[in-house]
Amino acid sequence: RTVRDLPNNGTFTVYDPSIRDGAVPSLLSGSKEEWDRLAQGIMEYVPSHEGEFLNDMRALVHFMIDHPDGVEVQHRVMPRLYFNRDKPQLLDCDKYDENIYAMHFSHMATRKA
């Protein structure tokens, strides 16, 4: 495969911008060079957060705030399930469209299930 085969020609892309000022790293794409760039970029936040809880999502949020043009952002992940009001055992398919690539099941949602 070539970079042209990747979404957005290999530019690092985040598909789940469901939190304020950042994105959830639930679905990401990019070329090897872009993954290397982002890995180095988010690792720069580790020393300044010593002793704090800093995971991939928080580091990505910091990176996106400091580098607003550093990643491509697209709304392609549904943040939750939508159920039909009349038949709650069924999904409400009107809430979904062909631009959605995936569904995000958060850690909290899977624990509550």
pLDDT (0 to 100) of residue 40: 95
- Secondary structure (3-state) at 108: helix
7, pLDDT greater than 60: yes
Q: Is the dihedral of CA 15, 20, 24, 28 positive or negative?
A: positive
Write down the pTM of the prediction: 0.76
Instruction: Report d(CA 48, CA 17) in Å as an integer.
Output: 24
* pLDDT over threshold 60, residue 113: no
In terms of Cα–Cα distance, which of 15, 39, 17, 40 is closest to 29?
15
Core vs surface per residue 53-87: b (16+ CB within 10 A) or e? eeeeeebbbbbbeeeeebbbbbebbbbeeeeeeee
- In tens, the pLDDT along 29-84 reads 999 999 999 999 999 988 888 888 888 888 888 898 899 899 999 988 887 777 88
